[in-house]
Structure 1
């Protein structure tokens, strides 16, 4: 990973993973504008990829898909 999630982003990822370990399979991360939700999503996708898992990223805006795609392809 060429980008490093900030501490609060790491906590969000860790909490989502804890929810999954607790038996829930649809955690929701809510964060304000500018908090780096794309970085959080990319860190989760990249982590899953390293473990051999597949992921699906869905967003309601084309711009969000394009932004995330750039993070996943260019930042690597």
Structure 2
């Protein structure tokens, strides 16, 4: 979905917002199927709601989201 390939993800990770690339377009909020992306003046994630699908990262036009692998998920 992302035309600029700005988002990345690993198969077993959580989403991290890269604030240096975020333009507050809210594409991630609109595409997130588990409502784990929030915007209240600043983008935030709710890791416990995140299902690690990577849809938000694919939707981001600037690559501001990254799905990171955690030690617990390996």
Normalising by structure 2, we get a TM-score of 0.37
Structure 1 or 2: more strand by fraction: 2
Normalising by structure 1, we get a TM-score of 0.37
Bigger relative contact order, structure 1 or 2 (CA pairs below 8 A, ≥6 apart): 2
Larger-gyration structure (1/2): 1
Structure 1 or 2: more helix by fraction: 1
